[in-house]
Amino acid sequence: MAQLAKIVPAGDSAFRSVFESGLTDPHTAYWSLEALVKVGGPTSYSQLVTFALDSSHTTEHRGKAIKELALHSGQHFIRGLPSNPGHWRGEQLPLAELRQWAAAGFPKGPGFEPPFRHSK
């Protein structure tokens, strides 16, 4: 699933059902989250928010859904969290912000600036 997620073209809806079904398997869910937002774009936001809010999923998978949503939409609700959702704790999940964003209709955020790099 990881390889398929990397090679599928953005917006290629032919693979959407593959990634949607991948969300139901704990072994493929992590990469299916990334790929679903890649192929579905904003039309996948509602499904990924539902996934992230479902406490039956692991914290890592829920965090991955939130991270992918934030990166794709340009929202900042992951600011200050470790870059790897595997290092997030349940109480760190920005669920209130996620609910507010969904209730507002998934508005586009300001995006992220590239990290500062020292000149050579």
pLDDT tens readout for residues 106-117? 999 988 776 677
Interatomic CA distance for residues 36 and 5, integer angstroms: 8
Interatomic CA distance for residues 6 and 46, integer angstroms: 22
Secondary structure of residue 35 in the 3-state scheme: helix
Cβ atoms of residues 39 and 12 within 8 Å: yes
pLDDT tens readout for residues 31-76? 999 999 999 999 999 999 999 999 999 999 999 999 999 999 999 9
Share of the chain above pLDDT 70, in %: 98
Share of the chain above pLDDT 90, in %: 87
Q: Stretch 76-90: mean pLDDT, rounded?
A: 93
pLDDT value of residue 111: 82
How many C-beta neighbours within 10 Å does residue 7 have? 9
pLDDT value of residue 102: 97
pTM, to two decimals: 0.90
pLDDT value of residue 118: 76
